[in-house]
Structures are given as C-alpha cells and as structure tokens.
C-alpha cells in the first residue's frame, strides 16, 4: 500500500475560535503530578507520597475516568511492579496487587472481568536469548479473585527445537554464545500498540530484533484470550505504515492508533482507526504537527481525540475538522486536589502460571494477505485548521 503520509499546507492559528475544554486526566511522570480537568474545574494532584510513578512507568486509560500507572525503573535502575488505579472523578487511588513480573513502559486493557498487561520491557528469563531485556509477558488480573496470572510459553525442548535454531555470524553477535529462533514469540515483539475488543487482545505494529537491528511491523495480531483455545494469529490485513511504540484506545469496536515511531525512527504524525469487526483501516485527514509524548496513551471521547505533546494538549475534533492546541496551565495557578489511597486487598496472593503456546502465527506465505481497505475520513481540506487555546 506504500507510504500513506500526506503533505499538508501550513495552517494558521485562530485564537478567536473558542471550544470547550474537554474533561481530561493527565499524569506528568517527570514531576509526579496529575492534572485533572473536570467540568471546567482544573486541579493538580501531587502523586509522590501515594503513587510510585517513574519516567518510564506504564500509563494507560482503562476508561474515560480511570487511569492506571504501573512499574517503571526506580532510582537504582531496578524494575518495579506496583500497580495503581487512579480516578480523579471519585477522588480515589486503589493499589492493586503487584505485577508478577516487574517491567517498564507497557500497556493495559480490560475486559468485563479481567485486566490485561503486555507490551512493556522486562528482564529476559531465557539464557539462550540474545537480549538482556525482552517484551514483558502477558499478564492477566482477575477482579473477582484479585489474583494475577502470567502466561508462559510451552517450551519445546525436542531435537527439532534445537535444529530450528541458528548461530549468528561472528560479526553480528550481540554477546557470546547467542542463538536466534526461527519462530518469533510474543516475548520477542517489542512495543506494539495494544487494545481489547470482543474477547481478543489486538496487538498492532511493534518491532522484533534481527541480526542486523530491528524489523518494524505493520502487522496486526489477535490474541484469543477469553475463548476455549488460546491462540495468537496474524490478522489478514495490515496498517499502512510500519510502526512501533504507538498507543491504542478502543471505542465501539474501533482502535484509534497514534504516536510512536516509523520504520525510519521519525515520529508518527498520523492517526489511524482500525475497525476490528470490519477489518478496515481509516486514516484521519487531520494529521498531527507535533510529536506526541513517548509511551503515553491517547484518549478518545465522544467529540474528539485527546493527544498529549507537553507542554501542549492536542484536541482533534472530527466534527469541526480542526485541531485545537491547549497550553498546559502553570502549577502555581491551580487548586490542589487530595485523593484517598486504598488497597484492593491486604492479603498477598501468589500469581498463577498459565502454560500456552505464545508463538506468533503468521499468515500463510503462499497466500497474499488481504490488505485492509484504507479509507481516509472525509474532511474538507479547506477546514483543516488548528486552534491554539489556553486551558
């Protein structure tokens, strides 16, 4: 499908145009604060005393009101595993049982009864791996039993397993005595976008280490997590660009993809919408002129898409065919909001291991992939403006 990046004309800011400030909750991982805009009331929450948040902590929106913070590297550069659910609307912080595997970055998504975590970075548990770090394992939290499950790969230690490995050429070795497998697994896929819909976790893009560097994907995989048979299967369509480290917000069966890096390491300036049921991909005609904050999620509400590019908030309004840019307010002018911290359970419970096949099953090489239909959302180009406002 080629490069779908489109050229855009320069757009002047129109300070005379007004738009309502959307409700939002934003966590500043650098200074450990939370900015909340609720019904035009702007407040600041100091998280340092109650929430363990680091510059590389995982942050995800569970819904429009709840944000989750987990993991990250502490001052000693050790990976951590504490998990916090923050709801500024209810003025509450709930600490969940700790992750079974410490990690940094990563994304969360939830079904009715479970919370899923994957796509972060954890220490490698495989002595034959070429990497000191690998993608964090798929982990699932059960809200009913308040326990975590860790999905582990069923190891195949037969002769065929070793015959399917190859030694890297001397000049391509990352460290001594390293082997690469021919069949990549979920742990090999770094920084995909993650979203849940209808019993499946969709992982979009990401990258896999190769002897010469990294291969960035435009592929979409579906993890069947809530059916009788656990499978990870490539979907018969792709997104229009190869992309890693983007984020996904699912609304009504559609995954909104933004941020991240392209194959050439340049920031992605497009927003894509994947319809998981129809298996189509749409690209917004309105592009983003500022790189988004790395590993920080977007949020999709009824009227538009909230994207964060400090010190700016980008508000993409499809109905107005415009991007509004709001400046983050000075902390000196804000009211402080206090949130109540509680733990979901004082009882420490052991996590459970779930042994499954975590191999990535690719489409048959003998069949041409069914590329998704790329349909740009219809927006008159003459209306593609940006508006700069203060929150």
Nearest to 87 by CA among 107, 108, 65, 103: 65
Range in 25-29, 276-280, 323-327, 375-379 with the lowest mean pLDDT: 375-379
23-51 burial string, b = 16+ CB within 10 Å, else e?
bbbbbbbeebbbbbbeeeebbbbbbeebb
pLDDT digits (tens, 9 = 90+) for 227-245: 778 999 999 999 999 999 9
Indicate yes or no: pTM above 0.75: yes
Q: How many CB atoms lie within 10 A of CB 61?
A: 19
Nearest to 259 by CA among 287, 301, 235: 287
218 vs 66, 158, 215, 221, 239, CA distance in Å?
Answer: 30, 32, 10, 10, 5
Range in 18-32, 65-79, 88-102, 147-161 with the lowest mean pLDDT: 147-161
d(CA 365, CA 294): 34
Does the domain at residues 24-390 carry the CATH identifier 2.120.10.80?
A: yes
Structural domain boundaries of the chain? Answer: 24-390
pLDDT for residue 128: 56
pLDDT for residue 390: 60
* Residues pairing with 313 in the sheet: 308, 326
Range in 38-47, 265-274, 322-331, 364-373 with the lowest mean pLDDT: 364-373
Q: What is the mean pLDDT of residues 364-386?
A: 42
Nearest to 174 by CA among 127, 131, 123, 121: 131
């Amino acid at each position: 499908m080629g490069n779908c990046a489109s050229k855009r004309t320069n757009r002047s800011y129109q300070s005379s145009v007004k738009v309502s400030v959307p409700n939002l909750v934003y966590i500043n991982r650098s200074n450990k604060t939370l900015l909340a805009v609720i019904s035009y009331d702007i407040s600041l929450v100091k998280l340092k005393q109650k929430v363990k948040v680091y510059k590389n902590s995982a942050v995800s929106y569970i819904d429009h009101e709840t944000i989750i913070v987990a993991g990250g590297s502490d001052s000693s550069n050790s990976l951590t595993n504490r998990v916090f659910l923050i709801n500024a609307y209810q003025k509450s912080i709930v600490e969940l049982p700790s992750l079974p595997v410490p990690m940094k970055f990563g994304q969360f998504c939830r079904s009715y009864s479970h919370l899923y975590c994957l796509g972060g970075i954890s220490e490698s548990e495989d002595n034959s791996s070429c990497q000191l770090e690998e993608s964090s394992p798929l982990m699932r939290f059960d809200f009913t039993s308040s326990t975590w499950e860790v999905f582990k790969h069923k190891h195949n230690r037969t002769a065929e397993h070793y015959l399917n490995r190859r030694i890297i050429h001397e000049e391509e070795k990352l460290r001594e005595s390293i082997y690469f497998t021919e069949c990549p697994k979920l742990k090999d896929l770094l920084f995909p976008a993650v979203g849940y819909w209808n019993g499946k976790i969709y992982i979009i893009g990401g990258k896999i280490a190769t002897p010469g560097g990294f291969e960035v994907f435009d592929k979409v995989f579906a993890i069947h997590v809530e059916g009788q048979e656990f499978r990870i299967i490539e979907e018969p369509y792709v997104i229009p660009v190869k992309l890693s480290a983007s984020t996904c917000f699912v609304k009504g069966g559609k995954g909104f993809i933004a941020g991240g890096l392209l194959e050439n390491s340049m920031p992605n300036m497009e927003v894509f919408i994947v319809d998981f049921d129809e298996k189509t991909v749409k690209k917004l005609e309105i592009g983003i002129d500022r790189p988004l904050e790395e590993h920080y999620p977007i949020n999709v509400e009824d009227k538009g898409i909230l994207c964060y590019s400090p010190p700016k908030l980008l508000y993409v309004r499809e109905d107005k065919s415009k991007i509004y840019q709001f400046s983050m307010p000075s902390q000196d002018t804000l009211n402080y909001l206090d949130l109540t911290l509680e733990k979901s359970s004082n009882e420490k419970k052991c996590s459970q291991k779930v042994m499954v096949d975590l191999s990535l099953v690719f489409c048959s090489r003998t069949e041409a992939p069914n590329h998704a239909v790329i349909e740009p959302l219809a927006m008159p180009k003459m209306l593609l403006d940006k508006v700069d406002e203060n929150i």
